[in-house]
A = this chain, B = another copy of it.
Amino acid sequence: MDQVRIITLTTDFGTRDGYVGVMKGVILRINPQVQLVDLTHEIAPQDIWEAAFVLAASYRYFPPGTVHLVVVDPGVGGERKPIVVEAGDWLFVGPDNGVFGLVYRQERAHRVVEIANPRFLLPELSHTFHGRDLFAPVAGHLSLGVDIAQFGPELKGYQQIDFPEPRVGGKRIEAEIIHVDRFGNLITNLSLEFLGKLEGRVLKIVAGDWMISGLSRSYAEVKPGELLAIFDSSDLLEIAENLGNAKKRLGLDRGDTIEVIIGS
C-alpha cells in the first residue's frame, strides 16, 4: 500500500437510518483500505446551500487527493447530472445542483465530468438512492486512483450557486447571515477580503435590537454573556455571545441581515 486515500462524506441523511452506513459499505467493497471521514450528515433535508457552505469551509484542510463526496440530492432520479469535479488539489463527487458552487468560487475547476460509465456503478441503479448505487461506488473507484476521465464526458456548463454579496451604501454595509453554527454563532457573508477593499474600519454593528462596538479578536476578550463581532476561523464576520448563544439572544437566523457601520 503506497498511499492511504481519504473520502469525506457530507449528506442530509441524518444518522438514524443506516443510509450512510450503506454508502460506506459500498465504498469499502471497492476499497477496503480507504479512510472514511464524516463531514456532516445533519444538513437540513435538501438544503443545498448548507451543504455548499459546510463543504467550502472544510475541504481544503484535507490532504491533496482527498475525495469529497456530497449527497444532498433533492433531484435524485430526475434531470440533474451526477458529476465528478477536479478542483484545486481535491476531487469532488455529487449531483450537479450547486453543492460545489462555493468550491468553484475558491478553486479553479480543472475538469468537470458527467458520470456516465456504467462500469463504475452498482449493477442495479435505483431511482431513489444514488448515494448508494452511483455516488458511493464512484467515490470508491476515485479513491483507488481511477482517472476522472474514465467516468464520462467532460461537462462545460455546470451549476453555480448564488452567493449573496454584502450591500454597501456609503458607510453602511448590509451583511446577511449565511450560516448559524451549533453554538448559535451568526456567520455572515462579509469577508475580511471584502472589507479590506473598503475604506475605513468597523465602528459598530447593529444586529437585531443590539449594538456592538467594534471588533474583537477572541471570544474571551469580552465578558461572559456579552455580544461581540469577530472575524471567524473562515475569515467571515460573525456575531457571537461569549459563552452564550447569539441566535437565541438576538432572535436572528439565516437569511436575516445585520448592519455594519464603518468609518475612520
Contacts and interface: CB of A to CB of B under 8 A. Distances in A.
A220 interface: yes
Interface-centre pick from A45, A76, A219, A245 (highest chain B CB count, 10 A): A219
B46 A25 contact: no
Interface stretch (A7-15, A112-120, A146-154, A193-201): A7-15
Contacts of A238: 128
For chain A, give the interface size range: 35 or more
Interface-centre pick from A14, A18, A55, A220 (highest chain B CB count, 10 A): A18
A28 B43 CA distance: 24
Interface string A27-50: 011001101111111110110000
A182 B45 contact: yes
A79 interface: yes
Contacts of A162: none
Contacts of A33: 4
A58 B21 contact: yes
Contact of A243 (B10, B46, B62, B126): B46
A252 interface: no
Contacts of A16: 40, 42-43, 181-182
Contacts of A28: 6, 35, 37, 62-63, 66
B217 A29 contact: no
A15 B42 CA distance: 7
Interface of A: 3-4, 6, 8, 10, 12-22, 24-26, 28-29, 32-33, 35-43, 45-46, 54-55, 57-58, 61-63, 66, 74-79, 126-129, 132-133, 179, 181-183, 217-221, 230, 232-233, 238, 243, 245
